[in-house]
């Protein structure tokens, strides 16, 4: 029996404060999604957070010490505790039922949706509705498009050894950024003037562009700062505490420069001092958009 897609709201998987633990790796853009939502919605008062070492290994994501709530030392242990015959990728994020020690969700968009919708009864009263009924179709559409164009594509261009494949992927990637630059010349948030899930989905790959994708994956036609509207939008999001508090630039660099996800591309296993990330604190002046 698989435990990776258990329904919530049942006797076995209740919506209950203190019942679940989110496991993330700070370099991972997928794991960053639910970490932002957790804090933004006040779920950090109800769902605990475990963070693995930022440098992934050939043995999978490892905790620096035994995780105090799940009793494991690595993410693969969580998978095998949940499904002993599992033979897939030991990815993050995962949402763990502390009572059973088993993974109940392992797909980032599903965990994000659980946090924004399924766990709504645990939200703080003054938090935004990130998945409003009237915008759900558009949010779902754009979440999938962004995942394809800004995550799948950047990994394609970063890991290919074929010049033609690289050229195609890098042009496609930056064509999408040009579309986003035009969009944020008149939109404050991705969908009008309301913060939604899609803003989180867009933020997590783009915050990694200058510090990781540009140098490590050769996504270097332009930098984020070359797009004034898009970078202003990104700074506005970053300066929201839930986005800033969950963004660790040093961990992102360590993961991509020395972890298994990017080191074989860069091959030096040295974490650089730069780039300067102080511009993320610069005023964004977008309140009247």
Confirm whether 28 is a catalytic residue.
yes
Question: Which one of 28, 213, 227, 256 is the catalytic residue?
Answer: 28
Query: Taking a C-beta distance cutoff of 8 angstroms, is the pair 24, 93 a contact?
Result: yes
State the Cα–Cα distance between residues 136 and 257, nearest whole angstrom. Answer: 37
Confirm whether 155 is a catalytic residue.
yes
Query: Taking a C-beta distance cutoff of 8 angstroms, is the pair 200, 37 a contact?
Result: yes
Question: Which one of 86, 155, 166, 284 is the catalytic residue?
Answer: 155
State the Cα–Cα distance between residues 47 and 118, nearest whole angstrom. Answer: 13
State the Cα–Cα distance between residues 103 and 3, nearest whole angstrom. Answer: 6
Q: Which positions are annotated as active-site residues?
A: 28, 155
């Amino acid at each position: 029996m698989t435990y990776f897609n258990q329904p919530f709201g049942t006797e076995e998987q209740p919506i209950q404060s203190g019942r679940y633990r989110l496991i993330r790796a700070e370099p991972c853009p997928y794991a960053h999604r639910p970490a932002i939502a957790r804090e933004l919605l006040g779920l950090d008062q109800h769902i605990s957070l475990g963070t693995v070492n930022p440098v992934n290994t050939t043995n999978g994501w490892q905790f620096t010490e035994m995780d105090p709530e799940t009793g494991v030392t690595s993410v693969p242990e969580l998978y095998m505790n949940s499904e002993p015959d599992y033979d897939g990728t030991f990815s993050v994020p995962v949402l763990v039922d502390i009572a059973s020690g088993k993974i109940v969700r392992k797909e980032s968009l599903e965990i994000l949706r659980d946090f924004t919708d399924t766990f709504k009864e645990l939200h703080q009263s003054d938090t935004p509705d990130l998945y409003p009924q009237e915008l759900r179709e558009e949010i779902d559409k754009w979440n999938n498009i962004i995942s394809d164009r800004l995550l799948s594509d950047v990994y394609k261009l970063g890991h290919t050894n074929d010049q033609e494949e690289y050229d195609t992927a890098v042009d496609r990637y930056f064509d999408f950024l040009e579309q986003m630059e035009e969009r944020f010349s008149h939109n404050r948030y991705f969908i009008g003037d309301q913060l939604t899930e899609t803003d989180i989905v867009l933020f997590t790959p783009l915050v990694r562009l200058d510090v990781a994708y540009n140098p490590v994956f050769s996504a270097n036609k332009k930098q984020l700062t070359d797009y004034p509207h898009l970078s202003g939008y990104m700074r506005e999001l970053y300066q929201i505490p839930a986005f800033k508090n969950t963004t660790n630039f040093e961990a992102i660099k360590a993961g991509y420069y020395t972890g298994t996800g990017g080191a074989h591309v860069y091959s030096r296993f040295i974490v650089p001092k730069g780039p300067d990330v102080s511009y993320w604190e610069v005023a964004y002046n977008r309140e009247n958009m």
